[in-house]
Amino acid sequence: MKFIIYNVRDDEIPFVEKWGRDHHVEVVTTTTTLNTETVNEAQGFDGVSCLQTIPYTKELFEAFHRMGIRYLALRNVGVDNIDRAAAKANDVTITNVPAYSPESIAEFAVMMALYLTRKVGYMRQQLQDQHEFHFSPEFMGRLISEQTVGIIGTGRIGRAAIHLFHGLGAKVIAYDKYPQKSTNGEFTYVDRLETLLNQSDIISLHMPATSDNHHLFNHEVFEEMKANAILINTARGSIVNTNDLIFALESGEIAAAGIDTLENESADLQDSRSTKKVADAELIKLSVMPNVLVTPHSAFHTTESVKNMVNISLNNLKAMVMGEKPANLIDEN
């Protein structure tokens, strides 16, 4: 039994090596992205582990089939970049890691909200651009406990974020197409998304990307939000129309944004060894705004998350190769 891990980062390697020793399985790592040009590296392996935001295409799964590879274990949650019909047609079984550390992403979302609420970006701009460093009345922020936080998506990550915002004293409301039965007294569901948009001072996104919510946050939605509203996106980039977001920030339709996931993320974003300079005009524009905090899809990145992503992914692969049912089939979670 032997596995290959694509897109491996330096921080993952110690956990990969330990898992291989503990389970007496040969695990080979490569820093390359999995695509039709690199899939030949998987020849002779029993399964593939991968972490990337670029597409897993029909052509890729056809290559899997030709090579006799039947198992792909993702090290992340999202499956919106997978041609699932093509995977099924080519007899490729796929697993993901639906809960590697909800708290890691939730804490990051709260950190972004605090950074933006207390106008830290304006303080940094004063020092970096104006070479000044002093107190300014313009930096006056607001307490989280003074605000209404709207959570969209109340799965594991959304509930973890709710718990943290509630702990800071915020009034928390939430919207989900499939609301859970219990709120533990920490939040209140609203029946309509428009209600959440109209009432929230901070809106934090925690739902998967689907065809239904592509560009859900666009010009019309930004117009419905409060002028002092802060948008936090640690979910998926496709949910927010980046061009409309920039307009909303520049025109004052909303006050600030924390963006950890971007539209059309390149493979370089998850490549810790990449030396390419940022060339995306929209990303550059967002990065220099004092009312924006933009990060490279890093909300998940804690020691606990990385360990769980590696271990759960490889456990899933081992179970599939041994003819057992893995815990995290994507068609069942």
The residues carrying an active-site annotation are 236, 265, 297
Rounded to 10°, the helix 102-117/120-130 angle is: 60
Which is nearest to 138 in space by CA: 316, 319, 290? 290
Identity of the residue numbered 330: I
Q: Among candidates 239, 236, 246, 296, which has minimal Cα distance to 271?
A: 296
Per-state percent for the chain, helix, strand, coil, to nearest 5:
40, 15, 45
Contact 162, 174 (CB under 8 A): yes
Cα–Cα distance, 249 to 167 (Å, whole number): 29
Helix orientation angle between 156-167 and 102-117, rounded to the nearest 10 degrees? 40
Distance CA 52, CA 69 (A): 19
Check residue 75 and give left, alpha or beta (phi > 0: left; psi -120 to 50: alpha).
alpha
Q: Enter the tokens of residue 64.
A: 């899997």
173 with 149: CB under 8 angstroms? yes
Closest-CA residue to 94 (of 105, 86, 102): 86
Kindly state the tokens that stand for 105: 């992403």
Helices 102-117 and 303-321 sit at what angle, rounded to 10 degrees?
A: 150
Cβ-contact 267, 52 below 8 angstroms: yes
